[in-house]
């Protein structure tokens, strides 16, 4: 359907595309910042009443979240995090103190406490925590709604088929809006690592974030076009552009249908080479949709997500529950459970890690785990309990740089296993422990690591950053971040060759595995499995099923002999075009 708004001039905005897809529709602005609650001080005699209003707000707010959770289906874990946040003493006691000591009215007390917590997140200076502010704001709003009878929920009046335009959206909003048939999300702020972005991808709703100046130009009812892959947003589109987007949307739908037809077919090359295609998941809820899209298992569970959004370290029971949910959801398919990879860009208030000058080179991954042994022990105990109930799990260690680190964690695994046995609890029959190859040091001691590890999983997101000295989150050097740099390809080839010579399987779980244009390279390098976000599974399989493994090997032989990434890119482009895969 072409969508034109002739009255106003066309306005094109650019943000960051975080969930692909083309959407056309009418804007619905959700702007919470316009909502105001009366602020006033209360008399000493009214403090008791205001504290009771807070109690009511908590009880009604809790009910609202529980109801939302019941409707959230497989995404209910995020609402669970909101419920935990609602009970956090920082929030509960903070609001009570604002009433009792500052004598603020209940609404003002809630707003002031939410602002204080948001300021603390800001002070941590970390992108992840900045993004968590929208979660606290969401919880605060449920409380404020409970206080003010008759104030509509900001997202409740959104029409089916609208494109939601907002300053920021919380994951709770994303869930509520997806149930209302919203066509796309566009926000002014946010980051690609936010839960909202992750959810938009998981829910297949095109989304663009960091679209500056959006609310200055957009009003409810305006015609809008969204390209969630390229991060483009067009307000009041011209007839020409509308027609172009309509063609793109039709093309996208046809392609998705074509790819979906292959979901049940094996990931096998025309000359019979099977490559295991796996999903990367951050929360257990992602497992069902991944299997539905053809995932043969989970190649990477980023367990550190359980530590985010909270101020206390998860218990062994929480780890057990999350891991068991993944193992059970896979119904016998394999799952690789990574111990927490916190530090660098993923900080958890619960870990109280130090502020570092150079966090990517600091206390990260297994280094942090060995420095905070109790947290790691608790996680291992939870994983072992889940693996005792389900035999399809294996453990993966992030950021390994030495044999000693692997041995140290293996010793903890053995001790935790012995403790479970001593307490009469079941223990897993086998506990395969693998290592991530993400550091150049790990690449060059791959032979020694094969002696102490059962399998390898290569994390190219970090391996590229550490090989090329390019911060993976720094937009100033993003153009230099290059998976096809010959240094990267030679390192990858070395790791795969060593692993296979020593009888170890080796998978790839960085974003490189998710890029269909790079699939011939991953295939030719000889990886046994490729693990990626669910949304990429079908496109990668499409290429695999059309590219011979022996051609891919010859292609990689040529590529590693080249001296520049640009030349390698040309070779790859020609090889894809020759097989009709030019638009992959």
Alpha helices per DSSP H over 72-165: 76-86, 89-100, 106-123, 127-147
Annotated catalytic residue 195:
yes
Contact segment (CB under 5 A) with Mg ion among 31-39, 411-419, 458-466, 540-548 equals 458-466
Q: C-alpha angle with apex 511: 464 to 183, nearest 5 degrees?
A: 145
d(CA 328, CA 335): 10
Residue appearing with tokens 């394999």: 334
Q: Please identify, using beta-carbon distances, which residue of 50 and 462 lies nearer to Mg ion.
A: 462
Q: Of 111, 131, 141, 462, which lies in the binding site for ligand PEP, with binding defined by CB under 6 A?
A: 462
List CB contacts of 481: < 8 A, sequence separation 6 or more.
464, 465, 468, 470, 472
The 10 Å CB-count burial string (b at 16+, else e) for 508-528 is bbbbbbbbbbbbbbbbbbbbb
Shortest Å, Cβ 472 to Mg ion:
9
Query: Quick one: DSSP state of residue 181?
Result: T
459-488: contacts with Mg ion (CB under 5 A): 459, 462
Q: Could you tell me the two tokens for 472? A: 């993976």
Q: Of 98, 303, 417, 460, which lies in the binding site for ligand PEP, with binding defined by CB under 6 A?
A: 460
Q: Please identify, using beta-carbon distances, which residue of 308 and 552 lies nearer to Mg ion.
A: 308
Say if CB 30 and CB 155 are below 8 A apart.
yes
The residue annotated as part of the active site, out of 28, 75, 82, 195, is: 195
Residue 534 near ligand PEP by CB under 6 A: no
d(CA 232, CA 235): 10
Q: Could you tell me the two tokens for 426? A: 């079941």
Residue 220 near ligand PEP by CB under 6 A: no
Residue 401 near Mg ion by CB under 5 A: no
3-state SS, 322-358, equals HHHHHHHHCCCCCEEEECCCCECCECCHHHCCCCCCC
Contacts with ligand PEP by CB under 6 A: the residue count is 10
Q: Of 135, 168, 296, 341, which lies in the binding site for ligand PEP, with binding defined by CB under 6 A?
A: 341
d(CA 520, CA 166): 40
Residue 193 near ligand PEP by CB under 6 A: no
The residue annotated as part of the active site, out of 105, 211, 509, 522, is: 509
Residue 178 near ligand PEP by CB under 6 A: no
Q: Of 20, 228, 459, 483, which lies in the binding site for ligand PEP, with binding defined by CB under 6 A?
A: 459
Residue 320 near ligand PEP by CB under 6 A: no
410-439: contacts with Mg ion (CB under 5 A): 438
Q: Could you tell me the two tokens for 573? A: 């482009």
Annotated catalytic residue 11:
no
Report how far Cα 386 is from the mean position of its chain's Cα atoms.
23
Q: Could you tell me the two tokens for 392? A: 């399809």
Shortest Å, Cβ 358 to ligand PEP:
16
Residue 509, binding choice from Mg ion, ligand PEP, none, Cβ under 5 to 8 Å by partner class: ligand PEP
d(CA 342, CA 353): 9
Residue 176 near ligand PEP by CB under 6 A: no
User: Residue with the closest Cβ to ligand PEP?
Assistant: 459
Contact pattern for ligand PEP over residues 422 through 441, marking x by CB under 6 A: ----------------x---
Residue 511 near Mg ion by CB under 5 A: no
Residue 302 near ligand PEP by CB under 6 A: yes
Residue 369 near Mg ion by CB under 5 A: no
Q: Please identify, using beta-carbon distances, which residue of 76 and 280 lies nearer to Mg ion.
A: 280
Contact segment (CB under 6 A) with ligand PEP among 10-18, 454-462, 478-486, 552-560 equals 454-462
Q: Could you tell me the two tokens for 531? A: 């693990």
Residue 270 CB: number of other CB atoms within 10 A? Answer: 14
Residue appearing with tokens 């080249």: 562
Contact pattern for ligand PEP over residues 282 through 301, marking x by CB under 6 A: ------------------x-
The closest of 537, 508, 532 to 521, measured between CA atoms, is 508
Residue 302, binding choice from Mg ion, ligand PEP, none, Cβ under 5 to 8 Å by partner class: ligand PEP
Say if CB 539 and CB 259 are below 8 A apart.
yes
150: left (phi > 0), else alpha (psi -120 to 50), else beta?
Answer: left
Q: Which residues are catalytic?
A: 195, 509
Residues that bind ligand PEP (CB under 6 A): 300, 302, 341, 438, 459-462, 509-510
Residues that bind Mg ion (CB under 5 A): 438, 459, 462
């Amino acid at each position: 359907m072409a969508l034109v708004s002739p009255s106003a001039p066309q306005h094109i905005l650019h943000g960051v595309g975080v969930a692909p897809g083309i959407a056309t529709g009418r804007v619905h602005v959700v702007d919470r910042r316009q909502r105001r609650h009366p602020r006033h001080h209360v008399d000493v005699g009214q403090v008791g009443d205001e504290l009771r209003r807070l109690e009511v707000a908590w009880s009604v707010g809790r009910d609202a979240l529980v109801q939302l959770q019941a409707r959230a289906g497989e995404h209910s874990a995020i609402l669970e995090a909101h419920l935990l946040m609602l009970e956090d003493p920082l929030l509960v006691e903070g609001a009570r103190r604002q009433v009792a000591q500052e004598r603020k009215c209940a609404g003002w007390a809630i707003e002031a406490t939410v602002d204080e917590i948001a300021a603390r997140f800001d002070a941590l200076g970390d992108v992840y925590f900045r993004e968590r502010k929208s979660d606290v704001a969401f919880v605060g709003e449920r409380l404020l709604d409970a206080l003010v009878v008759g104030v509509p929920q900001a997202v409740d009046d959104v029409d089916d088929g609208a494109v939601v335009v907002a300053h920021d959206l919380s994951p709770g909003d994303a869930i509520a809006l997806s149930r209302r048939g919203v066509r796309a999300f566009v926000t002014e702020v946010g980051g690609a690592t936010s839960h909202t972005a992750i959810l938009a991808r998981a829910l297949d709703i095109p989304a663009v974030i960091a679209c500056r100046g959006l609310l200055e130009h957009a009003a409810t009812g305006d015609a809008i076009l969204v390209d969630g892959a390229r991060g483009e947003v067009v307000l009041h589109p011209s007839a020409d552009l509308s027609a172009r987007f309509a063609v793109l949307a039709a093309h996208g739908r046809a392609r998705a249908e074509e790819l979906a037809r292959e979901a049940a077919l094996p990931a096998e090359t025309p000359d019979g080479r099977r490559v295991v295609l796996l999903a990367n998941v951050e929360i257990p809820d992602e497992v069902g949709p991944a299997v539905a899209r053809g995932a043969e298992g989970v190649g990477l569970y980023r367990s550190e997500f359980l530590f985010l959004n909270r101020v206390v370290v998860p218990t062994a029971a929480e780890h057990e529950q999350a891991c068991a949910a993944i193992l059970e959801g896979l119904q016998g398919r394999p799952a690789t459970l990574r111990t927490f990879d916190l530090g660098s860009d993923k900080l958890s208030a619960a870990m109280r890690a130090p502020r570092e000058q150079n966090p990517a080179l600091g206390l990260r991954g297994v280094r942090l785990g060995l420095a905070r042994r109790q947290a790691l022990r608790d996680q291992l105990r939870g994983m072992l309990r889940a693996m005792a109930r389900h035999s399809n799990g294996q453990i993966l260690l992030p950021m390994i740089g030495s044999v000693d680190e692997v041995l140290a964690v293996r010793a903890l695994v053995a001790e935790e296993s012995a403790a479970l046995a001593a307490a009469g609890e079941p223990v897993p029959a086998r506990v395969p422990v693998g290592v991530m190859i993400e550091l150049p040091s790990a690449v060059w001691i791959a032979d020694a690591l094969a002696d102490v590890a059962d399998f390898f999983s290569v994390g190219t997101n970090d391996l590229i950053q550490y090989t090329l000295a390019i911060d993976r989150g720094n937009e100033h050097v993003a153009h230099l971040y290059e998976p096809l740099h010959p240094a990267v390809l030679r390192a990858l080839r070395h790791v795969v060759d060593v692993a296979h010579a020593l009888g170890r399987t080796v998978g790839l779980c960085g974003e490189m595995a998710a890029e269909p244009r790079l699939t011939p390279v991953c295939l030719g390098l000889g990886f046994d499995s490729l693990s990626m976000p669910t949304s990429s599974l079908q496109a990668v399989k499409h290429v695999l099923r059309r590219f011979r493994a022996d051609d891919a090997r010859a292609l990689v032989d040529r590529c590693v002999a080249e001296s520049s990434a640009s030349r390698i890119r040309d070779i790859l482009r020609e090889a894809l075009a020759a097989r009709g895969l030019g638009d992959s």
